[in-house]
Amino acid sequence: MPQFLTEIDRTVRVGQQAFIGAGGYALFLLSTKFGVNPFLAVPLSVVVPVALAIPSYLLLGRLDGPYFAIGTWVLAEVLRLITTKYSISKWRRGNVSQRDGPI
């Protein structure tokens, strides 16, 4: 699919993993940290990538060609650094639930 999109509008995108990761983190944190039912957390977790996509479009919407590819790559790296800096996901210790007893 990405190759098909590249052939249509001749742009290279390398930042999709940031949005996929944001949705995955949102799903996991909603269901483990906040106790939301996982079936309800799936549609709610779509809100986070959409909220990231709007300012991303405002920043990267006018870039073209290799500048767009580099811009999306930098955006993905910035979001990765932000994710690893803040401890809400506990990425170094493993993301485990804080509940007592079995999950």
One digit per residue, pLDDT tens: the chain, 103 residues? 555 555 566 666 667 778 888 898 889 889 988 899 999 999 999 999 999 889 988 988 888 888 888 888 888 888 888 877 776 655 555 555 555 444 4
Helix ranges restricted to H, 10-92: 16-32, 38-44, 47-60, 66-85
3-state secondary structure of 80: helix
Token representation of residue 91 = 């990425």
| Residue 65 per-residue DSSP state | T
